[in-house]
Amino acid sequence: MSENSPVGAGGILYVVGLPIGNPRDISERALEVLAQADLIACEDTRRTGRILTAHSIRTPTTSFFEHNEQRRTPAIIERLRAGANVALVTDAGTPAISDPGYRLVRAAHEAGIGVVAVPGASAAIAALSIAGIPTDRFVFEGFLPAKAGARRSALGRLAREGRTMVFFEAARRLEETLREMAVVFGADRVAAVVRELTKTHEETVRGTLTQLADRFVRQPPLGEITLVVAGTGAAAEPRGETVPALDETRTVEVLCEAGLSLKQAAAAVANLTGRSRREIYQNAIRSRRPIE
């Protein structure tokens, strides 16, 4: 395991991505690291054990999951200090992404131990790549709170988020979450439900939040769900005939004719378009100046 290993005290902590469904998605490098490590810290030793057995890997494993992460971290750091190489894995996907791991990674850095990424699958990135929703800027929100009140509060804080949002959600709560998002974000906000990524019954369903909620109340979903929701800055999708772009300056003038002040009209158009109120206001001022 000498490949570009960072200089640090003791061994190396390898953060290893595993498949999220299709077992063929594991990389050759991941298999090499798992085979040569002195210890594998895994969320579920039985699930990881099946992957290891399939590839004739006999590296010892230790359980490392949400409820023992804090207790197990010091012992693993001591193994690393003593020179052992440790591979950190989760049941599926990339460790520390809505899964255990970040506390161990942080402790390794604080102890001067080298940390190396062995990239693999990530449901959030995989879903984003096939959702057909803007990907230039996005935010990963993981799981929303299970309790209704806390979930509504979390969504309220995201009501003006301009970036695409990526969530994980339990299948049993999907329809309820979509309904609440439709209330907070708007019924016509575009989203995609990506289900069972890389597995036999993989499915991507796109539509407005209301359309998706109606679909999944009729056909309750099964399996693991990743939900991709457009931000406020995403362009509205045409339905049937193409909808012309809003003429911001003309709309400001119409609102002013209806009795709003210029600042009020600019603010209203900014809320409709997600664009800068100041920019809309200044464009309206310029449009009123006589041509010299």
Give 10-residue mean pLDDT values along the chain (292 residues): 58 97 96 98 95 96 92 96 97 91 96 96 96 95 92 93 96 95 94 96 95 92 96 61 57 79 82 75 76 42
Asked if residue 197 lies in contact with residue 20, where contact means CB atoms within 8 angstroms, the answer is yes
Instruction: Map residue 71 onto helix, strand or coil.
Output: helix
Please tell me the predicted confidence (pLDDT) of residue 288: 73
The pLDDT, as a whole number, for residue 241 is 37
What are the structural domains of the chain? 12-121 (3.40.1010.10), 124-229 (3.30.950.10), 248-288 (no CATH)
Residue closest to 126 by CA, chosen among 143, 118, 138: 138
Secondary structure (3-state) at 88: strand
Give pTM, 2 decimals.
0.75
Q: How far is CA 93 from CA 20, 34, 97, 197, in A?
A: 5, 15, 8, 11
What pLDDT shows up at residue 261? 87
Contact 6, 114 (CB under 8 A): yes
Torsion of CA 176, 140, 193, 197, to 10 degrees: -130
- Asked if 228 and 165 touch (Cβ cutoff 8 Å), the reply is yes
**Residues 16, 33 contacting (CB under 8 angstroms):** yes
Q: Which residues contact 203 (CB under 8 A, 6 or more apart)?
A: 193, 194, 195, 196
User: How far apart, in whole angstroms, are the C-alpha atoms of residue 15 and residue 113?
Assistant: 13
Backbone torsion region of residue 93, taken as left when φ is above 0, otherwise alpha when ψ lies between -120 and 50, otherwise beta: left
Q: Give the whole-angstrom CA distance, residue 207 versus residue 216.
A: 12
pLDDT at 251: 84
Amino acid at 159: A
Residue 283 buriedness (CB in 10 A; 0-12 / 13-18 / 19+): middle
Q: What share of the chain is helix, strand, coil (3-state, %, to 5)?
A: 40, 20, 40
Q: Residue holding tokens 């090499």? A: 32
Give the pLDDT of residue 192. Answer: 97
